[in-house]
Chains A and B, each alone.
Chain A
Amino acid sequence: MARRSKLVLLVLIVALATAGCAANAPQDSLDPAGPFAKMLDNLFMPVVWVAVAVFILVEGAIVYFVVRYRRRAEDDDDELPVQLHGSTKLEIAWTILPALVLGLVAVFTIPVVFDLNAKPAGALEVSVTGQKFWWGYTYGAQPAFGIEEGGIVTANELHIPAGQPVYLTLTSPDVIHSFWTPRLNGKRDVVPGRTHTWSIQAYEPGVYSGQCAEFCGTAHANMRLKVVAHDQGGWDDWVRQMQQPPIQPLGGPAAQGFELFTQKGCAGCHRVEGAFEAVAAESPPAPDLTHLFSRDCFAGCIYDLNDRNELEAWLRNPQRKAGSLMVLGGPLTEEEIDNLSAYLETLE
């Protein structure tokens, strides 16, 4: 009975594993898309195979002994097996052998620990802030990457050039978060009062999904992020666009929306370069909206910015994302929502 169930179980596990791996999983750590994630994966897979070998050995021994030495119906219960008390030789063997295997694993592991913490040469540097419940990114002037004085400020979507290392400086103004894009590297906590660093890199252009991995409060599950890796041309375009301040709308709903931005208190927290620079000192950190519509997602990267309904629903009630810290300066009429959306759409 035991053997059959275990066999069924094993088949089930293999089937599940296959089903699991076949699925399209954008955060699959087993599908590395950059050299750092690959480095981790190279370390992990041999350990997995060692573990599988030990698993088969141990579970095989259990199943075999369970079958081989089970009491049989015809057995005389008064006849006891030989009272074995142990074997020092065996004990020494199964102490030393695992220690040797683990020693081997250690030899490969330890250097990687230090490699991961080193700053890669020629990296793009980005300051990342994790806060309840979104990600902010600041790129300082870096001529090698086309970024001029004044830099770039954006949120939730981290744009990087593919094929080049990116060195992140992580800080938090409130509680602990953790920056994690599984296909580009493991996670690194973002701890208030401390400055941590972490590196990512993508082999190929593409969009890589990630999210906050340290519990940070009500909306923790909805603190997601995207890393967008560009080829050289795409990177240059993005940098150019991000360094041009938006043009103030002069008429129509967008101009009314521009007025509402101050009247409804948006400007108290959200910065728009060249238009709303005076963010109140005591306001909670809020995403820079200068190039809002250069992004595809908002509010911790959980809503699609290309879908106007999502934005309007958000302006109607920012609490649709439970735990959101965004407060409206009073309820907005449908017309005001239309006008504000129209203004925000000009921020490209």
Chain B
Amino acid sequence: MALTEERTPLELTTGEESVVEKPLGAFTRPSSNEGWRSWLTTVDHKKIGILYGATAMAFFAIGGLEALLIRAQLAQPNGQVLSPEIYNQMFTMHGTTMVFLVIMPMLAAFSNYLIPLMIGARDVAFPRLNAFSYWVFLFGGLFLYSSFFLGGAPDNGWFNYAPNSGVAYSPGHGIDFWTLGLQITGIASLVGAVNLIVTCLNMRAPGMTLLRMPVFVWMALVAQFLLLFAIPVITVALFLLMFDRLFGANFFNVEAGADPLLWQHLFWIFGHPEVYILILPAFGIVSEVIPAFARKPLFGYPFMVFSGIAIGFMGWGVWAHHMFASGVGPVSVAAFSLSTMFIAVPTGVKIFNWIGTLWRGKLTFTVAMLFAVGLVSQFTIGGLSGVMHSVAPHDTQQTDTYFVVAHFHYVLFGGSMFGIFSGVYYWWPKIFGHKLSEGIGKLHFWVMFAGFNLTFAPMHIVGLQGQPRRTATYPEGMGWDLMNLLSTIGSFLIALSFLIWVYNVVRSRKNPHAGADPWDGRTLEWATSSPPPVHNFDLEPTAGHLDEWWHQKYEENEDGRPVRREEFTYLSQVDEPSLSRGGRQPEGVDVSKIHLPSPSYWPIVIALGLPLVGYGLLYTYWLAALGGLLIIGGIVGLGLEPSVDPEAGHDEHDDHDPGHEPDDGQEAELVAVGAGDGAAGPDGTTAATTTDSEPT
């Protein structure tokens, strides 16, 4: 519950530290928003978004290295670069990393950073839980990767089919690290999903009706709903496997009568919605980027929204198309074949609408736009090979071959990663104040585009020529040599393009300030300064239209053509150059009345407990007990700590029921404290935008 404090305007805009000598529990509550330590305790959705993004990109480099090792091994027949044991660890960790530690957190990064800005909120609904999600994700990922130093990484594929995942066939701890690590990151995803859904539904600025939300927010919202319902399903699967492995349960013990298909059903009931979790936010990103650079609104906004929702629903009815060769019976195969075909319809609607947005636009090919159009063109290829999979009888030729590998890389790389890079180039100036260099960026795009197609297009061919995936070597004389060599060359081109991007990031630090609205954007995040202030907007945003910010800047003349308004007002203090072409600074702003949740140690403390429990389950229960203590202590600490640090003692809410009569001593005490407190503003404004009081 929001207990509030008075802050000086200076403190908020500059982030200057205020000295609060009030010990809470074992710690003094952190209060700074600057310096490296502030990153450990921050609850600011923007900082957390940046943390997610930076971490995901680091994992992208690691997962990419694993991919390079895989491709080096397969460059020619009878490859000797890796032993089969190491190769199996590599493809397992590559898949697990790219799905759980790169694309999901990358989209969490965008969702975290952008959703509050786009809907005109000051933060997410539960800022401290948001920090908690990030730390849990980070520690879960590190926990998973620590397996490399503790006897070997998991080696049973990212799908980890039973019964090969059982102790009998995988006696090492690798699979345990996988099950526990994914349970930990699952907690992060689940908490994040609740948080972001509540944010989308509850924190919208006045006037921001659901159908005025930017498409990115919509797609992120659908993806978070999918997470909300998909994470528990894989959690069940992971639980059962964990109990099998650690406590001798029988869920996947075939000798006791278990059915290995139980794992496949649970995994893919999660796994297929997961595909849409990975792609929908990327769809959202390009749905923002293409209109911005076509300089016209998204074609068919409501259809884009509803097709996204339709995909969200239909995504639950297609999972068994991963099991067309598993022996689920012809009736199931027929049904899932049909549902898989028809999920292509709403996906097609999206592609056609993006093309409709290009139609009669005025297209500027910035790097962000190149990646966005790249997504539309490359995802189409992945979509079409997806339709080929839906022809279930022939899918028995395609499944578990490189044809499938090609398909999902066109979807996840040509789709998700291109969308992510589009978003990175588009919002970089908003997040860091300067653009990435366009010239280097174009080189990055074209090298990545070429490398991507060179890597994955040949896989269609070798797949249909019968090369199975997850095989550490292949013999000579299968007709696969040339295509595999080309794939390997392509993969190194992708690596080169990533290095070009890293160079761009490093070099661009010296680029001039980009201003608040460098792309003439359409949505509210461009109405505030770059980077935005801690509280996002000095003026509270309101929304009268879809693309509200565009409507602030433009109106239509008598011919129905848009004309720029003489002047318009930014929602925060912006730098001088942004004020050209009619921009005005907001006036009469007193940011001292804005109260934000204070930084907190507790999220990272609780999160730290989870991997300890994990190690404890594997090695010694003492560690688990220590981890449990950290978690419980952290939760108590978090529960007792007010969301906003009460600098001047307890504060009382002004909306406190005046007729309320305390019924006992305790209540009276509380009222007394409240009454003796002069911290609330003279106008009685105490409510923070965000409250963060979870039960218990």
Contact = CB atoms under 8 A, between A and B. Distances in A.
A58 to B, nearest CB: 5
Contacts of A112: 393
Contacts of A25: 465-466, 478-480
Contacts of B462: 20
B266 interface: no
Contact of B400 (A41, A81, A91, A214): A214
Contact of A192 (B254, B344, B384, B470): B254
B358 A81 contact: no
Nearest to B475: A302
A95 to B, nearest CB: 6
Interface in A194-226: 194, 196, 209, 211-222, 224
Q: Which of B349, B351, B352, B556 has the most CB of A within 10 A?
A: B352
B258 A94 contact: no
Contacts of A90: 300, 352, 356
Contact of B294 (A81, A106, A110, A215): A81
A82 B357 CA distance: 11
Contacts of B671: none
B562 A83 contact: yes
A87 B298 CA distance: 11
B384 A54 contact: yes
Contact of A47 (B302, B391, B472, B561): B391
B653 interface: no
Contacts of B560: 82-83
Nearest to B347: A98
Interface stretch (B269-277, B334-342, B499-507): B334-342
B257 A193 contact: yes
Contacts of B397: 29, 37, 40, 44, 182, 186-187
Interface string A118-150: 000000000000000000000000000000000
B564 to A, nearest CB: 6
A234 B453 CA distance: 47
Contact of B330 (A23, A59, A113, A188): A113
Contact of B355 (A2, A39, A62, A75): A62
Interface stretch (A65-73, A157-165, A338-346): A65-73
Contacts of B398: 29
Interface stretch (A173-181, A239-247, A307-315): A173-181
A112 B376 CA distance: 33
Contacts of A302: 475
A106 B300 contact: no
A152 interface: no
Interface string B316-332: 00000000011101100
B388 A48 contact: yes
A5 B388 CA distance: 26
B345 interface: yes
B554 interface: yes
Contact of B393 (A21, A40, A51, A81): A40
Given A29-B466, A80-B562, A193 B161 contact: no
A28 B464 contact: yes
A109 B393 contact: yes
Contact of B468 (A99, A185, A186, A213): A213
Nearest to A70: B363
Given A59-B380, A188-B327, A24 B363 contact: no
Contacts of B260: 176, 191-194
Q: Which of B325, B446, B554 has the most CB of A within 10 A?
A: B325
B377 A59 contact: yes
B81 to A, nearest CB: 14
Nearest to A51: B384
A7 interface: no
Contacts of B390: 105, 109
Contact of A51 (B156, B387, B453): B387
A40 B394 contact: yes
Interface in A19-48: 19-21, 23-30, 37, 39-41, 43-44, 47-48
Task: List the 6 closest A-B pairs by CB distance, nearest first.
Answer: A186-B396, A27-B466, A25-B479, A221-B471, A86-B300, A23-B479
Given A44-B394, A90-B352, 11 more contacts: A69-B294, A70-B365, A81-B296, A81-B362, A85-B299, A86-B303, A113-B337, A117-B329, A175-B164, A213-B468, A222-B473
Interface of B: 83-85, 88, 156-157, 161, 163-164, 169, 254, 257-261, 294-297, 299-303, 325-327, 329-330, 333-334, 337-338, 341-342, 344-345, 348-349, 351-353, 355-356, 358-365, 373, 376-377, 380-381, 384-385, 387-388, 390-401, 446, 449-450, 453, 457-458, 461-462, 464-468, 470-475, 477-480, 482-483, 486, 554, 556, 560-562, 564
20 contacts: A6-B377, A16-B461, A28-B465, A54-B380, A58-B380, A69-B361, A70-B365, A82-B560, A85-B297, A86-B301, A86-B302, A91-B300, A95-B349, A98-B348, A109-B391, A110-B334, A175-B163, A189-B327, A192-B260, A224-B475
